[in-house]
Amino acid sequence: MEEHRLALNPGYQIDQLRIETVLGKGGFGITYLAQDLQLGKRVAIKELLPDSIATREDGVTVVPQSASLRQDWDWARERFLEEAKILAAFSHPAIVSVHRLIEQNGTVYMVMDYLEGESYEAKLRRIGREPSQEELMNVMVPLLGGLQEVHRHGLIHRDIKPENILINRHGQPVLIDFGSARSSMGVAMTTIVTHGYSPIEQYQEKGRMGAWTDIYAMGAVACRAITGKKPPVAADRVLEDGFVWMEHLQIPGYSAEFLGCIDWALRVKPDERPQDIATWAASLGGGNGGATTAVPGMSPPATTPTARVSTRVDGQSVPVPPVADLRATNRKWIFGGIGGGALLILVALGILKGGAAYDAMQTKWKAWQSERAVAAEVSAAKEKIFQWAEKELAK
């Protein structure tokens, strides 16, 4: 049995469920393997026990650590109970099924399917190589379908990482450990982070969370699978972003468009990421050899999928920011007048008015030695393009 000082002892019985061993421990509770004595099958039980505000007395009862934490504990217990009820209503192959809720010992227990298999982290370590793009999509696509269902019900997971993705004995991915899930998307929530997988808003006391929060974590999972390393801690990326965009790595077997979509999910600022699962899933599918990957049961994106585009200057790929970034400007979006494709063609061919502006820009690019300088100049070039296009449209 995995050692944990607050875990219930083997043999302890919760209703008709007998504890066998500890499966895992997280910030919000402990998960046990148990035997259902009525049905004669194994189940998993998640016990609410956030060790930052609660503890166990008499070896059984869960209580707040102090009187000052009573309100926090009552709130956590109510939220866990409410969200467990919502999860119990889900029926999706990529989401672990919740069958029963038990209120006992001053806390709440979620009784779930016990799934035999291994975590995605364990699988990646076992195979000892990066998965192919197709293999990675076979994991991500079902999970995205499940996440969209979760988000549709007003929940976000908040703790997506390879350890919380189970690959069952049939090879299918299942998202587990919803102990950190919270409702009221967009409202300030308690702080919980997993370095490398949690976005910046989870480090903030009043960080605004939503679908984009889980999307960042999914992008981080993809980054870990492809490169063998998780992204840098999001809080460290704010002042100086040392993350090397995956689109620039030229990884064999992965299209630049697909890698660019992973980069899109890993933007530091929440409003620069995809805002819903369907939009990101459609973009990922578009980077899969040009074929759209269908996600069973997934609704179409609320907005047009954002494409990652790049142009080449002196043999180097220079990324053009996603459409979502450009829409953030407080000016009239010129694509409505001449079409996004036409403008990008103008940039790629250097057909700015008279060609002189582009020639001068190209001369400057030759002297730039760092990616940061290139990014700054691309931003300046974008502004010049807007100014030029607005003048042309005004004629």
116, burial (CB in 10 Å: exposed 0-12, middle 13-18, buried 19+): exposed
**pLDDT tens digits for 292-301?**
344 444 554 5
- C-alpha closest to that of 271 among 215, 193, 331, 194: 215
Longest CA–CA separation in the chain, Å: 82
| Structure token pair of residue 153 | 């019900």
> What is residue 155's predicted lDDT score, i.e. its pLDDT?
86
> What is the pTM assigned to this prediction?
0.67
Contact at 8 Å (CB) between 218 and 238? no
Where does the pLDDT of residue 179 fall: very low under 50, low under 70, confident under 90, or very high at 90 and above? low
Phi-psi region of 212 (alpha: psi -120 to 50; beta: other; left: phi over 0): alpha
Ordered by where they begin, the domains of the chain are 13-113 (3.30.200.20), 116-307 (1.10.510.10), 310-395 (no CATH)
| Structure token pair of residue 50 | 């956030």
Q: Who's near 285: CB < 8 A, 6+ residues apart? A: 291, 292, 293, 294
Average pLDDT over residues 46-54: 91
**pLDDT tens digits for 240-269?**
999 999 999 989 999 999 999 999 999 999
How much of the chain is helix, strand and coil, in % rounded to 5? 40, 20, 40
- C-alpha closest to that of 234 among 277, 191, 275: 191
Where does the pLDDT of residue 377 fall: very low under 50, low under 70, confident under 90, or very high at 90 and above? low
**pLDDT tens digits for 8-28?**
999 999 999 999 999 888 777
**pLDDT tens digits for 90-137?**
889 999 888 889 999 999 999 998 988 999 999 999 999 999 999 999
Phi-psi region of 289 (alpha: psi -120 to 50; beta: other; left: phi over 0): left
